[in-house]
Structure 1
Amino acid sequence: MGERAACADAKGTAGGPAGGGTGWVSLMPAVFVLLWSTGFIGAKFGLPYAEPLTFLLVRLTLVAAVLALAALVARAPWPRRPAEIGRIALAGLLVHGVYLSGVFIAISKGVSAGVTALIVGLQPLLTATLSGPLLGERVTGRQWAGLLLGLAGVALVVREKLSVTAASLGGMGFAVAALLGITFGTLYQKRHGGSMDLRSGAAIQYAATALVLAVVAPLVETMHIRWTGEFVFALLWLSGVLSIGAIFLLFALIRRGAAAKVASLFHLTPPVTAVVAWAMFDERLGVTALVGMAVVAAGVAMVNRR
């Protein structure tokens, strides 16, 4: 689907008619990046009190229940054909299950947020490489240059945090798995999930992922949770703001634009995460990181310029 055709799609973020005017649409990428970037912050708050898969199981079960109830109250359409339900569930397992599990496990095993962000930051390049043969989208030379420039900016932002210890090497594979999950999930959602209602569809995706985690988590974790104030805050933030707000925006952006262009927004995640961590945890934000943020912004502008 071409860019103009995608932008003319009549579906809005809730599955109904598109609304809110061009003002809201123009703000969607910035809001998405800001919300998505808080994921590492939420993990930093919550992971000391629960193992990663246990944390995700509670989070995704809560979100699935809320969205299912909202879809029922709003009388949102539900898919009826098993094949359609299966495609929706598979996209959810990739975007939510593989990506989130990979990030959380990597961080819990000692991989720094900077290294994890840099690995996941390869997603725009991988998406651009695959969007041509899988989706038939054309990635121009200027867009390739912008993607490479954005990756260079990501490397500058996290350069000071690229200290990988022997203890964290085992978690690197999970960070790579997260990269593959979000990449293939984005492409699969673009190809097969464009017509789904975002309320009922997201409920199916979260429920499917929670079911898989309910089987896997007891096999590899103790399932113990310390219900502290920090954990409850992280759970509610990641459930409401990330799993509902940011994911709805992501799927709406995928529906409206080319996959490679949407993927370029992920280049902005590590710089914005660094700013939030600096504001909340007084983490260092040096001149190199500031220069890297400017480079990232320039790269994203090159990819998205009409």
Structure 2
Amino acid sequence: MKSHIAVSSRLATIAPFLFVLLWSTGFIGARFGLPYIEPFTFLSIRFVLVLLILGGLTVMFQQPWLSQPRAYGHSAIVGILLHSGYLGGVFFAIDGGMPAGLTALIVSLQPILTALISQWALGEQIAWRQWLGLALGLIGVAAVVSDKLMVAGPPLVTPVTLTAAIIALLATTAGTLYQKRFGAGLPLLSGTWAQYLGALLMTAPLALVFESHTIDWQPALIGALLWLTLVLSIGAILLLMLLIRSRSAARVSSLFYLVPPATAVEAWFLFGERLGWLAVGGLVIASVGVALVVISPPEPSRL
């Protein structure tokens, strides 16, 4: 029993940082795949694959399906926000030329929005050390943004790509809060399956109406599609749902501060995107901020 508790405790400790590592690769996967496919077509194919896999896992492990139409509705709304809105905005921005690291930086403002709204919508209390952590995270992100903008040449941001990134930011904030409020008690596998069904019903019409459906099946696209489907859409999303269940919305959202620095390092290594000392300093500051929000203070000893 003690060994089981110890393993569970270790998993709970590493789960937030494993989520950050996996989530950050989503921007890299988009950068690899989007030269060969349009964004909403890419997402629609990805969602179909996820539905097949999650449905199979639900049947294989004999997990319960959602029993109430209202539960399907709540999950579908989360899916539209977290998957269609967030991923659609991110993919559209990167497809429009915004660097992967910079896109991640814009949507990383989510923790501040979530902390402010969760106090009003969910009644969550934010301690002073958590506010300090959120502020440090924002400063760290601003440092990395400043570093990314110190680049000669054509502008990295256009009104269209900036709008897409802001839509992604608002969608992921709303999706996290909505999941915390209405989806925390739903079965994990079938609830996530219903999320992707809602996302597909939103994304597929956009692909059919606005895109040409031209696909160049290069190895980079196939690899990106498999990675984003298996690791991101199943592994990272299930991990996110578990974190939302067990932690406050503000604490979970603070993890997104670590995604832009992680993405910046990955983009520097894989694509040669600039990573200067200001960005490195921002990574350190953001990491300290997240630690203040995520790591609970020790309980006072009782005699």
| Length-normalised TM-score, structure 1 | 0.90
1:264 equivalent in alignment to 2:259: no
C-alpha distance in 2 between matches for 1:199 and 1:19: 25
> How is 1:56-71 mapped onto 2 (pairs within 5 angstroms)?
56-71=43-58
1:84 equivalent in alignment to 2:71: yes
Aligned to 1:191: 181
SS in 1 for 2:216: coil
1:240 equivalent in alignment to 2:230: yes
Shift of 1:283: 3.3
SS in 1 for 2:214: coil
> How is 1:1-306 mapped onto 2 (pairs within 5 angstroms)?
20-162=7-149, 165=155, 168-305=158-295, 306=297
User: Partner amino acid for 1:101?
Assistant: G
C-alpha distance in 1 between matches for 2:157 and 2:61: 48
Shift of 1:167: 7.2
SS in 1 for 2:136: helix
Query: Contact 1:109 / 1:167 at 8 angstroms: preserved in 2?
Result: no
Name the stretch that deviates more: 182-191 or 282-291.
282-291
Query: Contact 2:65 / 2:190 at 8 angstroms: preserved in 1?
Result: yes
Shift of 1:166: 8.5
SS in 2 for 1:116: helix
- CA distances 1:189-234 after superposition (whole Å, capped 9, x unpaired): 0111111111111111112211222222111110111100000000
Name the stretch that deviates more: 185-194 or 18-27.
18-27
C-alpha distance in 2 between matches for 1:199 and 1:244: 9
C-alpha distance in 2 between matches for 1:192 and 1:261: 18
C-alpha distance in 1 between matches for 2:96 and 2:159: 8
Unaligned 5+ segments in structure 2 are: 298-303
Shift of 1:19: 9.9
C-alpha distance in 2 between matches for 1:171 and 1:280: 22
Query: Contact 1:89 / 1:208 at 8 angstroms: preserved in 2?
Result: yes
| Length-normalised TM-score, structure 2 | 0.91
Query: Contact 1:33 / 1:265 at 8 angstroms: preserved in 2?
Result: yes
- CA distances 1:99-157 after superposition (whole Å, capped 9, x unpaired): 00000001111223233222201100000000011100011232122111101101212
C-alpha distance in 1 between matches for 2:272 and 2:71: 47
